[in-house]
């Protein structure tokens, strides 16, 4: 790729690049030391090469310290980018992040007045990575606020893909915070927007979010269809945390469908991951896992933590007709006669098919009375969840935000 005569002729479009593009990208001349440094930061961060990232940051900081006391605009800019790089490193050191209290992190940020030090266009990156840290700490209120700040900052700098990604992550935090199972059409709406602006990694994660919810209600065929779409949109992100999340989720789905070849292939590729969550995710996805197997769930993504409790076991099974009904309704609300025509195209609309329709609606609602709702002559998805097994397991599915 050539230098950034890319989207919107924006000099900071490299913030929005996929991992595969980052790995092959080189700046043309006349770029700042900080920009060149941060390009390498993004490469190591998205590849989860923690030790290389540490060394890169140490070397950059040592050079910066050697010119300490020279209060030039360049040094101030370099220092602001260094802060953002250190925060990205903290995200990779997941165990340290888990062990550090949220209030300690917020206090550290406030005492150092980092928000005031970071200079545009890196302010959006600062807001995004702070949101990501709080997201990983399950501090959904704080994470939501910082993602919204990132969304505004990126939009101001015409980085529309990262702005859209920030919006999507804020939607995920809202979902978790409200314990909501009713945002599926928001994901679909976002997918349509993301496709238009070519923000494919967030589109892939939106498909993954839907796939995870479908899996956790037992609709494994639909879950497979959606995770396959997720992986198609994440094809330029191979090696990233997002990609391995989707791949391991598909291995879990494949194991439930009895596709042992796909299960083993996905697990084999996932074993190459350097990301810290991968090992416990591999254990959860292992179809031969024993009930007494202890899994370190503290470093698992949220949607996998509940699975570790019941070892990925499904609560309800769906037949193909029920899953097809769900697939139709996930696209958009639909009237009864269109549904009958799609479900039984050879039989037409008559008393017999209307009785069949009533029966299939009853069977699906028996899984959750609010799963399919009827309003204004249209059927639609209400709550994409099941009746809880126990109160503490009522929220079986929590989607992930976009990692980069």
Sign of the four-CA dihedral 132, 133, 134, 140: positive
What does the pLDDT look like over 109-147, one tens digit per residue?
Answer: 887 778 888 888 899 999 999 999 998 888 889 999 999
* pLDDT for res 233: 95
Which of the four pLDDT bands, split at 50, 70 and 90, describes residue 303? low
pLDDT of residue 6: 39
- At residue 344, the pLDDT reads 95
**Are 133 and 105 contacting, i.e. CB atoms less than 8 angstroms apart?**
yes
| pLDDT above 70 coverage of the chain, percent | 81
- Backbone phi, psi, residue 295, to 5°: -120, 135
- Over the Cα atoms of the chain, what is R_g? 23
DSSP, collapsed to helix, strand or coil, labels residue 340 as helix
Which value, to the nearest 10 degrees, does the dihedral of the CA atoms of residues 126, 131, 132, 134 take?
Answer: 130
Q: 334, 379 in Cβ contact below 8 A?
A: yes
CB 318 within 8 A of CB 223: no
Within this chain, domains 179-316 and 320-381 share the same CATH topology: no
Share of the chain above pLDDT 90, in %: 44
Q: Where are the beta strands (DSSP E) in 283-348?
A: none
* Mean pLDDT of all residues belonging to the chain: 83
- Give the whole-angstrom CA distance, residue 305 versus residue 233: 25
Q: How far apart are CA 325 and CA 320, in angstroms?
A: 9
**Does residue 292 have a pLDDT over 60?**
no
The string of pLDDT tens digits covering residues 189-229 is 899 999 999 999 999 999 998 998 888 888 899 999 999 99
210 in Cβ contact with 175 (< 8 Å): no
Judged by average pLDDT, the poorest of 13-27, 201-215, 376-390 is: 376-390
| Global pTM value | 0.79
- The more confident residue out of 76 and 124 is 124
**Contact of 203 with 394, CB cutoff 8 Å:** no
Domain ranges of the chain: 1-178, 179-316, 320-381
| Range 20-47 average pLDDT | 91
Cα dihedral 256/211/246/289 (nearest 10): -30
pLDDT, position 129: 95
Q: Above 90 in pLDDT, residue 296?
A: no
Which is higher by pLDDT, 206 or 311?
206
CATH assignment of 179-316?
A: 1.25.40
378: enclosing H helix or E strand:
strand 378-381
Q: What is the dihedral of CA 355, 358, 359, 361, to 10 degrees?
A: 160
For residues 256 and 248, the answer to whether their CB atoms sit within 8 Å is: no
Cβ–Cβ under 8 Å, residues 236 and 218: no
User: Buried b / exposed e across 63-96, counting CB within 10 Å, b at 16+?
Assistant: ebeeeeeeeeeebebbbbbbbbbbbbbbbbebee
> Residue 389 pLDDT > 60, yes or no?
no
Query: Whole-angstrom Cα distance, residue 132 to residue 170?
Result: 10
pLDDT at 246 over 90: yes
Interatomic CA distance for residues 86 and 32, integer angstroms: 19
- pLDDT: is 166 or 306 the higher one? 166
When pLDDT is cut at 50, 70 and 90, the band that residue 175 belongs to is confident
Residues 283-288, mean pLDDT to the nearest whole number: 61
Is beta strand 372-375 parallel, antiparallel or unpaired with respect to 378-381? antiparallel
CA 314-373-320 angle, 5° bins: 45
Q: Is residue 211 within 8 Å of residue 303, measured between CB atoms? A: no
Whole-number pLDDT of residue 388: 42
381 bridge partner residues? 372
Tokens representing residue 290 in the block: 């024993």
pLDDT at position 386 is 59
* pLDDT tops 50 at residue 4: no
Task: Count CB-CB contacts under 10 A for residue 61.
Answer: 15
145, 195, 189, 183: which is closest to 166 by C-alpha? 145
Give the separation between CA 95 and CA 338, rounded to whole angstroms.
51
**CA distances, 226 to each of 6, 54, 303, 371 (Å):** 30, 36, 16, 19
CATH number of 320-381: 1.10.10
pLDDT at 321 over 50: yes
Mean of pLDDT values over 226-255: 91
Using 50, 70 and 90 to split pLDDT, how confident is the model at 273? confident
- DSSP class of residue 70 equals -
């Amino acid at each position: 790729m050539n230098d950034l005569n890319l989207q919107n002729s924006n000099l900071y479009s490299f913030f929005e690049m996929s991992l595969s593009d980052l790995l092959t990208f080189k700046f043309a001349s006349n770029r700042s030391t900080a920009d060149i440094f941060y390009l390498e930061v993004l490469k190591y961060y998205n590849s989860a090469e923690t030790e290389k990232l540490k060394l890169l940051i140490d070397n950059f900081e040592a050079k910066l310290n050697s010119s300490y006391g020279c209060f030039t605009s360049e040094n101030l800019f370099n220092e602001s980018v260094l802060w953002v790089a250190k925060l990205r490193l903290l995200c990779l050191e997941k165990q340290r992040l888990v062990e550090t209290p949220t209030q300690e992190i917020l206090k550290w940020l406030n005492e150092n007045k980092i928000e005031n030090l970071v200079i545009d266009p890196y302010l959006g990156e600062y807001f995004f990575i702070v949101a990501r840290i709080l997201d990983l700490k399950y501090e959904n209120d704080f994470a939501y606020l910082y993602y919204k700040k990132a969304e505004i900052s990126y939009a101001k700098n015409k980085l529309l893909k990262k702005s859209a990604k920030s919006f999507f992550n804020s939607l995920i935090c809202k979902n978790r915070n409200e314990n909501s199972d009713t945002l599926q059409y928001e994901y679909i709406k976002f997918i349509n927007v993301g496709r238009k602006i070519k923000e494919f990694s967030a589109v892939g994660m939106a498909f993954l979010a839907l796939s995870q919810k479908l899996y956790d209600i037992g609709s494994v065929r639909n879950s497979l269809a959606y995770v396959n779409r997720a992986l198609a949109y994440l094809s330029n992100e191979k090696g990233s945390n997002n990609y391995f999340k989707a791949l391991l989720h598909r291995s879990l789905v494949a194991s439930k469908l009895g596709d042992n070849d796909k299960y083993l292939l996905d697990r084999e590729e996932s074993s190459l991951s350097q990301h810290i969550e991968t090992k416990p995710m591999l254990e959860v996805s292992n179809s031969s896992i024993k009930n007494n197997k202890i899994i370190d769930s503290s470093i698992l993504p949220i949607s996998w933590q509940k699975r570790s409790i019941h070892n990925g076991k499904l609560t309800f099974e769906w037949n193909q007709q029920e899953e097809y009904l769900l697939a139709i309704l996930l696209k958009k609300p639909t009237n009864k006669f269109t549904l009958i025509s799609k479900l039984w195209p050879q039989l037409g609309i008559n008393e017999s098919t209307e009785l069949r329709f009533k029966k299939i609606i009853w069977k699906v609602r028996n899984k959750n009375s609010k799963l399919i709702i009827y309003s204004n002559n249209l059927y639609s998805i209400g709550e994409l969840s099941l009746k809880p097994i126990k109160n503490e397991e009522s929220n079986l599915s929590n989607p992930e935000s976009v990692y980069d």
